[in-house]
Structure formats: C-alpha cells, structure tokens
Amino acid sequence: MEGKVLDILVVDDQPGVRHLLGMLGREEGHRMHFAADGSEAVRTASALQPDLVFMDVRMPVMDGPTALPLLHGAAPRAVVVMMTAYGNDAALCETPESGVTAVLTKPFDLEQVRALIRRVAGPVREAVG
C-alpha cells in the first residue's frame, strides 16, 4: 500500500454494507471504524477525527443529510463520501456547500471505492521510520 494509513468511518444501518466496506478498507491497509446511524457517526467522528467517512443517506435515528453539518463540525478535515441506493438522493448531497467529495450509488463498483480510498490516502504521504 502506498500513502497514508487512513482512519475510515463507515456509517450505514445495513450490517452487510459496513462489513463489505470494512473488508475493502482493511485489504488496503487502513483502520476501519463503524456507526449504524448519523447520531452515532457524529459521536464517533468527534472522538476519532477520521480521514475519510462513507455515510449512507437514508438511516434511522438521524439520516445522512441531517448528520452531515454536525459531522463537518465534529471532524472538519474528514473527506465525506455519501452513499445511496436511490439515485435521486444524490442531489441532496451534491451541492457545493455540502462539503461532500463524492456520492456513491449502491450497489457499489468496488474498484471505484478502492480508487477513491487510494486518492484520499495518496496526497498525504508520510515517511515511515
């Protein structure tokens, strides 16, 4: 793996999505963290300060668009990628002021997810020891 080891937070109410992205991130050598809703994501992001956040749009308790400004406040340097199974949800997150880097539509193209992770890890290379 090249680039920085990232702390990646996956926020989705579906365990299968958390598991899939967790496996993918670990294969790339990153530290994976998980939350099942937006409220849990904000608490976790505040403590963790993740480098990258994959967050679902539609979740119980607190949905992605509601959590987004709170997440930016809790972890302002995090790169945020929204995920949705509904193509029309993308418009909720693609405004310039949203601070969202990308919107992924489920089911994912795994190579697209890998490329996105590598792009985030790449520019912040750190010398190892």
- Residue 58's CATH number: 3.40.50.2300
Say if 93 falls within a structural domain. Answer: yes
Q: Element (H or E) spanning 7, and its range?
A: strand 7-11
Say if 89 falls within a structural domain. Answer: yes
| Interatomic CA distance for residues 34 and 22, integer angstroms | 8
Q: What is the pLDDT of residue 129?
A: 35
Per-residue pLDDT of 106-117, as tens digits, reads 888 999 999 999
Rounded to an integer, the average pLDDT of 83-90 is 70
Say if 60 falls within a structural domain. Answer: yes
Closest among 97, 2, 110 to 54, alpha carbons compared: 110
Say if 2 falls within a structural domain. Answer: no
Q: Please, is 13 exposed, middle or buried when counting C-beta atoms within 10 Å of its C-beta (0-12, 13-18, 19+)?
A: middle
What band does 100 get if pLDDT is binned at 50, 70 and 90?
Answer: confident
Which residue segment(s) compose the domain that 106 sits in? 7-123
pTM score of the predicted model: 0.86
Q: What is the pLDDT of residue 87?
A: 64
Lowest pLDDT segment from 3-12, 59-68, 117-126: 117-126
Say if 115 falls within a structural domain. Answer: yes
Domain count, the chain: 1
Per-residue pLDDT of 41-76, as tens digits, reads 999 999 999 999 999 988 888 888 888 999 999 999
Say if 128 falls within a structural domain. Answer: no
Say if 110 falls within a structural domain. Answer: yes
Average pLDDT over the chain, rounded to an integer: 85
Say if 37 falls within a structural domain. Answer: yes
